[in-house]
């Protein structure tokens, strides 16, 4: 009997098999659909379309500090330096072939869901023009705070999901199987519950995980949801973290865990391990962000699958009003007992960042906790000022120390 | 107020329409509802008895907006936010704000949070236009905004109110179209700046009054085709500051076609009068030309620009890029390449609201057209 794989081994196995299948998709009679990370990909999985996420590939390159090199190539192609670093690094990869991975297979078509951002739609349009390929835009109007409007938005999204299914049937010449979708939804629902359970383990004191574990741990939820292996992975991961909790093992030892931080935005990918070390030296652990919770879906299997898909995808944090984002963050502040926050103004991600100044104002008022705000880029090192960020982090912790001393 | 304006007055009012709007509100006791670009059905707002005003930024300094929207946000969005936060906010009783991209989505939220005592409604434009669901959604949104305005104003409107509003707006567009035709053939009859000032002011003041001015101006235009003009097509969303038109006029460019929201795309918004008014307003959404955030057909922009260039026999295309408009910035490199592959001369103007100096724009523009005339392109 083979030994049970660890979550790390399982993640590698799932990823390798997934990419292997993707690179041989056409030989296997399957098509490749490029998708945004927040998209109703369950429909692809149910229809045997292999979803590929250019964002994930971009993250691999940006984490490996390839951002500046790749982005410069794209700028020489006539694109400006203030576009999303994922898009800029991807367009450069298409031109130069530069990547730290084996690359990603070419697309047959695109699914762009703007619940995440509108940038992805425009980026996919650029790629579509290169190959004259079809793009399906799954348009998700902002989930505004009006009950009736929300019902209408969901109806509109359900209509579009039906159009997406027709689009896929036409391209693949294959009838869509709704029973298969129900099965896929079951896996997606199960893995989402487990994924959320994993994230919520940051509530423990000391926290057994930091956002850096979560950013690694979220990968399978992003690209393999809707499969049994995704469920297995999160079950394994939860078991491992629970074992840490049972033994009282934290990211920092309990006596050293002084600051439990909220992070707003995507990470600075090429700096995230440095940030973990730096914050740790001040007794700080970043516990969570709305970003990692973007894949904490709550599918209702008693509903029509298209309705629960629409309800979930349209209500992601990135498609919610700033007021709703405040409520979502406040819920995390309370549940995770956080006492500090870093608000990252990410030049690359306008969709998330343009809400940050308002979000910061409201959250600091509501919590009474000061915020550290810094501006940089998630992937392009040219916009990262090392000494400035370090100084701000140091100053922030000094402020927090002084506040704590005063309270004491 | 706006019913007997000379061409010069049109230009002056277009540059800063707000003092006259303030006076008009005082005189008539009516209320103003502001919107930003694009596609809010202004006929609906008008039918409720409000003055629909499209906000088009301010040239006054930015003081408050930067603390809400960073410097890499679309300069038009920042400028509009500044306009209401620092300068003209008191003029408006409410706002209907369209969401067409990430920036406008956040802008609506920021606006609502900063004006808790005012009516702020969103108009959620679809960001796809080629599938039946888009048509369903536009109608749904028009009806939702109507219901919202009813709730706020306490007034219910009838089909007759809406049809009357459509009539007034259609008349405005028809007049602009006629004047545009005169201008295209008679570039010396009125300048680019004068014509586009009419376009702008049409979206900001009472149309019943302004249509009278347009009628008089139309009648006063003389056939003057002038000499030495170069016909060009203007492509983009807006063209600001208005002094850019002075540069065009200086080097005798004649705009004979455009795709601007403050230009042809506005005129294209004529609504059918022989149908249910909400259905007709819905249909109008799909008749208008390319607008980068809402059209998912990746070649539509190029096809429209190419057709316009050929149809007008223009000599070049001028593309107006608004700094930090992401939507334009993803389109532009491919659009340039496709246009150049057709052998069409194209010049890109990088503009920013609050721009004070246009000397770099002038130099580049002059150089481009000198080369064009010299046949070196």
Question: Which pLDDT tens digit goes with each residue over A107-119?
Answer: 999 999 999 999 9
Q: Are A350 and B326 in contact (CB < 8 Å)? A: yes
pLDDT one-digit tens code per residue, A19-72: 999 999 999 999 999 999 999 999 999 999 999 999 999 999 999 999 999 999
Q: Which is more confident, B374 or B363?
A: B363
For chain A, what's the residue count? 408
pLDDT at B62: 94
Q: Are A163 and B132 in contact (CB < 8 Å)? A: yes
The answer to whether B151 faces chain A, any CB pair under 8 Å, is no
Q: Are A78 and B336 in contact (CB < 8 Å)? A: yes
User: CA angle, A121 as apex, B342 and A301 as ends, to 5°?
Assistant: 150
pLDDT one-digit tens code per residue, B133-181: 999 999 999 999 999 999 999 999 999 999 999 999 999 999 999 999 9
Q: What is the mean pLDDT of chain A?
A: 96
How far is A46 from A184, CA to CA, in rounded Å?
6
How far is A327 from A359, CA to CA, in rounded Å?
10
Q: What is the ipTM of this complex?
A: 0.95
pLDDT at B358: 87
Neighboring chain B residues of A153 at a CB cutoff of 8 Å: 124
How distant, in Å, are the alpha carbons of A103, A367, B92 from that of B33?
Answer: 51, 35, 6
Q: How confident is the model at residue A3 (pLDDT cuts 50, 70, 90)?
A: confident
pLDDT at B377: 42
Q: Are B296 and A125 in contact (CB < 8 Å)? A: yes
The backbone torsions φ and ψ at residue B53, rounded to the nearest 5 degrees and listed phi first, read -125, 120
pLDDT one-digit tens code per residue, B78-118: 999 999 999 999 999 999 999 999 999 999 999 999 999 99
Stretch 71-110 of chain A: residues touching chain B, C-beta under 8 Å: 77-80, 82-83, 87
Q: How confident is the model at residue A201 (pLDDT cuts 50, 70, 90)?
A: very high
Closest CA to A140 of A153, A151, A152: A153
Write out the DSSP string of B218-245. HHH------SS-EEEEEEES---STHHH
The answer to whether B106 faces chain A, any CB pair under 8 Å, is yes
How far is A156 from A76, CA to CA, in rounded Å?
40
β-strand partners of A371: A341
pLDDT at B179: 98
The answer to whether A47 faces chain B, any CB pair under 8 Å, is no
Question: Are the C-beta atoms of residues A94 and A124 closer than 8 Å to each other?
Answer: no
Contacts of A101 (CB under 8 A, 6+ apart): A57, A60, A61
pTM for the complete prediction?
Answer: 0.95
By CA distance, what is B333's nearest residue in A? A78
By CA distance, what is B330's nearest residue in A? A122
Question: Are the C-beta atoms of residues A14 and A233 closer than 8 Å to each other?
Answer: yes
Q: How confident is the model at residue B376 (pLDDT cuts 50, 70, 90)?
A: very low
pLDDT one-digit tens code per residue, A141-158: 999 999 999 999 999 999
Q: Is the pLDDT of residue A88 over 70?
A: yes
Distance from CA of B130 to the nearest CA of A (A): 10
Question: Are the C-beta atoms of residues A126 and B326 closer than 8 Å to each other?
Answer: no
How far is B337 from A328, CA to CA, in rounded Å?
44
- Which of A78, A139, A144 has its CB closest to that of B122? A144
Question: Are the C-beta atoms of residues B313 and B297 closer than 8 Å to each other?
Answer: no
Q: What is the mean pLDDT of residues B7-19?
A: 97
Q: Are A80 and B329 in contact (CB < 8 Å)? A: yes
**Cα-Cα-Cα-Cα dihedral of A81, A83, A89, A95, to 10°?**
-80
- Best of B71, B139, B298 to substitute, by most chain A Cβ atoms within 10 angstroms, is B298
- Best of B111, B120, B127, B319 to substitute, by most chain A Cβ atoms within 10 angstroms, is B127
Neighboring chain B residues of A351 at a CB cutoff of 8 Å: 102, 105
3-state secondary structure of A158: helix
Instruction: Give the count of beta carbons closer than 10 Å to the beta carbon of residue B371.
Output: 13
How far is A282 from A350, CA to CA, in rounded Å?
30
By CA distance, what is A125's nearest residue in B? B298
Stretch 300-359 of chain A: residues touching chain B, C-beta under 8 Å: 321-323, 345, 347, 350-351, 353-355, 357-358
Instruction: Give the count of beta carbons closer than 10 Å to the beta carbon of residue A219.
Output: 18
Neighboring chain B residues of A160 at a CB cutoff of 8 Å: 128, 131, 133
The answer to whether B377 faces chain A, any CB pair under 8 Å, is no
Q: Is the pLDDT of residue A308 over 50?
A: yes
Q: What is the mean pLDDT of residues A194-207?
A: 98
Domains of chain B: 19-157 (3.40.50.11890)
How distant, in Å, are the alpha carbons of A45, A265, A342, B55 from that of A214?
Answer: 24, 14, 17, 43
Give me the sign of the Cα torsion angle B308, B312, B316, B318: negative
Question: Are the C-beta atoms of residues B119 and B93 closer than 8 Å to each other?
Answer: yes
Q: Is the pLDDT of residue B290 over 90?
A: no
The answer to whether A385 faces chain B, any CB pair under 8 Å, is no
3-state secondary structure of A313: helix
CA B132 to chain centre: 26
Q: How confident is the model at residue A192 (pLDDT cuts 50, 70, 90)?
A: very high
Closest CA to A43 of A223, A229, A168: A168
The answer to whether B69 faces chain A, any CB pair under 8 Å, is yes
Q: Are B105 and A135 in contact (CB < 8 Å)? A: no
How far is B100 from A119, CA to CA, in rounded Å?
12
Between A and B, how many CB-CB pairs are < 8 A?
121
pLDDT at A52: 98
Q: What is the mean pLDDT of residues A331-335?
A: 98
Q: How confident is the model at residue B24 (pLDDT cuts 50, 70, 90)?
A: very high
Share of chain A above pLDDT 70, in %: 100
How distant, in Å, are the alpha carbons of A53, A56, A378, B22, B100 from that of A90?
Answer: 11, 10, 14, 50, 25
How far is A54 from A87, CA to CA, in rounded Å?
8
Contacts of B16 (CB under 8 A, 6+ apart): none
Share of chain B above pLDDT 90, in %: 86
Q: Are A159 and B132 in contact (CB < 8 Å)? A: yes
Q: What is the mean pLDDT of residues A314-340?
A: 97
Neighboring chain B residues of A322 at a CB cutoff of 8 Å: 106, 109-110, 113
Q: Are B122 and A351 in contact (CB < 8 Å)? A: no
Contacts of A221 (CB under 8 A, 6+ apart): A191, A192, A195, A230, A234, A295
- B92-99 and B51-54 as β-strands: parallel, antiparallel, unpaired? unpaired
pLDDT at A272: 86
How distant, in Å, are the alpha carbons of A244, A375, B23, B309 from that of A345?
Answer: 33, 4, 42, 42
Q: How confident is the model at residue B285 (pLDDT cuts 50, 70, 90)?
A: very high
Distance from CA of A267 to the nearest CA of B (A): 19
Structure tokens at A348: 């690359």
Q: Is the pLDDT of residue A1 over 60?
A: no
pLDDT at B197: 98
Q: Are B298 and A354 in contact (CB < 8 Å)? A: no
How far is B176 from B246, CA to CA, in rounded Å?
20
Q: What is the mean pLDDT of chain B?
A: 94
- Which of B72, B136, B336 has its CB closest to that of A82? B72
How distant, in Å, are the alpha carbons of A128, A164, A313, B285 from that of B132?
Answer: 22, 12, 21, 13
Structure tokens at A179: 């029973």
Give me the sign of the Cα torsion angle A114, A117, A118, A121: negative
The answer to whether A145 faces chain B, any CB pair under 8 Å, is no
Q: How confident is the model at residue A2 (pLDDT cuts 50, 70, 90)?
A: low
Q: What is the mean pLDDT of residues B33-42?
A: 96
- Best of A154, A162, A354 to substitute, by most chain B Cβ atoms within 10 angstroms, is A354
Distance from CA of A71 to the nearest CA of B (A): 14
Distance from CA of A117 to the nearest CA of B (A): 6
Stretch 286-325 of chain B: residues touching chain A, C-beta under 8 Å: 293, 296, 298-299, 324
pLDDT at A139: 97
How far is A68 from A81, CA to CA, in rounded Å?
10
Distance from CA of A352 to the nearest CA of B (A): 9
Closest CA to A268 of A5, A55, A65: A65
- Which of A114, A358, A362 has its CB closest to that of B127? A114
- Best of B119, B133, B140, B319 to substitute, by most chain A Cβ atoms within 10 angstroms, is B133
**Cα-Cα-Cα-Cα dihedral of B198, B202, B203, B207, to 10°?**
170
β-strand partners of B231: B254
**Cα-Cα-Cα-Cα dihedral of A21, A27, A33, A34, to 10°?**
60
Distance from CA of A354 to the nearest CA of B (A): 6
β-strand partners of A143: A320
The answer to whether A163 faces chain B, any CB pair under 8 Å, is yes
How far is B149 from A182, CA to CA, in rounded Å?
41
Q: Are A122 and B330 in contact (CB < 8 Å)? A: yes
* B68 DSSP assignment: T
Domains of chain A, by residue range, sit at: 7-407
- Which of A142, A353, A354 has its CB closest to that of B122? A142
Distance from CA of B289 to the nearest CA of A (A): 18
β-strand partners of A50: A32
């Amino acid at each position: 009997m083979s030994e049970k794989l660890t979550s790390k081994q399982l993640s590698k196995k799932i990823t390798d098999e997934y990419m292997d299948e993707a690179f041989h998709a056409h030989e296997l009679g399957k098509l490749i659909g490029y998708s945004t990370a927040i998209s109703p990909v369950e429909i692809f999985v149910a229809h045997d379309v292999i979803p590929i996420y250019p964002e994930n590939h971009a993250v691999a390159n940006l984490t490996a500090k390839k951002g500046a090199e790749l982005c410069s190539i794209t700028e020489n192609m006539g694109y400006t330096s203030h576009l999303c670093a994922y898009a800029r690094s991807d367009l450069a990869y298409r031109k130069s072939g530069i990547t730290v991975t084996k690359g990603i297979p070419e697309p047959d078509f695109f699914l762009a869901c703007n619940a995440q951002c509108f940038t992805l739609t425009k980026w996919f349009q650029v790629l579509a023009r290169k190959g004259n390929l079809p793009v399906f835009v799954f348009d998700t109007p902002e989930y505004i705070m009006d009950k009736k409007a929300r019902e209408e938005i969901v109806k509109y999204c359900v209509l579009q999901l039906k159009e997406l299914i027709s689009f896929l049937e036409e391209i693949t010449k294959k009838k869509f199987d709704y029973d298969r979708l129900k099965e896929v939804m079951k896996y997606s629902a199960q893995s989402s519950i487990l994924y959320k359970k994993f994230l919520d383990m940051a509530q423990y004191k000391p926290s057994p995980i930091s956002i850096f574990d979560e950013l690694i741990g979220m990968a399978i939820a992003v690209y393999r949801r809707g499969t049994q292996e995704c469920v297995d992975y999160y079950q394994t991961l939860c078991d491992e973290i629970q074992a840490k909790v049972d033994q009282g093992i934290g990211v920092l030892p309990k006596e050293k865990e002084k600051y439990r931080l909220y992070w707003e935005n995507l990470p600075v990918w090429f700096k995230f391990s440095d940030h973990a070390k730096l914050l740790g030296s001040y007794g700080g652990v970043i516990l969570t962000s709305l970003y990692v919770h973007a894949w904490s879906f709550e599918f209702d299997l008693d509903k029509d699958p298209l309705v629960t898909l629409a309800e979930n995808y349209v209500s992601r944090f990135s498609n919610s009003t700033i007021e709703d984002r405040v409520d979502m963050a406040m819920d995390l502040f309370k549940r995770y007992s956080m006492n500090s926050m870093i608000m990252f103004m990410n030049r690359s991600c306008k969709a998330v960042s343009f809400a940050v100044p308002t979000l910061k104002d409201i959250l600091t008022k509501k919590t009474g906790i000061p915020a550290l705000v810094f501006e940089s880029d998630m992937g392009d090192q040219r916009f990262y000022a090392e000494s400035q960020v370090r100084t701000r982090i140091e100053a922030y912790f000094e402020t927090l120390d002084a506040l704590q001393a005063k309270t004491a | 107020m706006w019913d007997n304006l000379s061409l010069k007055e049109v230009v002056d009012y277009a540059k800063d329409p707000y003092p006259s709007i303030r006076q008009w509100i005082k005189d008539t006791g009516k209320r103003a509802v502001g919107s930003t670009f694009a596609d809010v059905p202004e006929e609906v707002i008008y039918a409720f008895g409000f003055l629909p005003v499209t906000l088009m930024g301010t040239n006054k300094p930015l003081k408050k907006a930067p603390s809400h929207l960073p410097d890499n946000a679309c300069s038009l969005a920042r400028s509009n936010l500044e306009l209401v936060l620092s300068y003209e906010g008191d003029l408006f009783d409410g706002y209907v704000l369209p969401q067409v991209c990430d920036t406008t989505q956040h802008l609506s939220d920021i606006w609502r949070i900063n004006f808790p005592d005012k009516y702020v409604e969103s108009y959620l434009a679809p960001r796809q236009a080629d599938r039946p669901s888009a048509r369903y959604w536009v109608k749904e949104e028009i009806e939702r905004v109507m219901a919202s305005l009813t709730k706020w104003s306490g007034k219910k409107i009838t089909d007759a109110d809406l049809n009357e509003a459509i009539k007034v707006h259609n008349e405005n567009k028809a007049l602009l179209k006629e004047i545009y035709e005169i201008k295209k053939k008679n570039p010396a009859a009125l300048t680019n700046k004068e014509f586009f000032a009419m376009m702008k002011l049409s979206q900001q003041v009472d149309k019943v009054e302004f249509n009278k001015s347009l009628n008089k101006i139309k009648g006063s235009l003389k056939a003057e085709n002038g000499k030495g003009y170069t016909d060009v097509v203007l492509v983009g969303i807006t063209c600001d500051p208005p002094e850019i038109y002075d540069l065009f006029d200086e080097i005798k460019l004649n705009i004979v076609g455009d795709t601007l929201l403050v230009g042809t795309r506005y005129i294209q918004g004529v609504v059918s009068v022989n149908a249910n008014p909400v259905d007709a307003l819905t249909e109008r959404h799909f008749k208008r030309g390319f607008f980068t955030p809402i059209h998912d057909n990746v070649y539509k922009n190029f096809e429209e620009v190419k057709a316009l260039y050929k149809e007008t026999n223009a000599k070049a295309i001028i593309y107006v890029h608004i700094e930090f408009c992401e939507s334009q910035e993803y389109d532009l490199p491919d659009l340039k390449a496709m246009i150049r592959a057709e052998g069409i001369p194209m010049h890109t103007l990088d503009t920013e609201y609050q721009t004070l100096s246009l000397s770099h724009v002038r130099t580049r523009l002059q150089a481009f057209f000198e080369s064009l005339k010299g046949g070196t392109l």
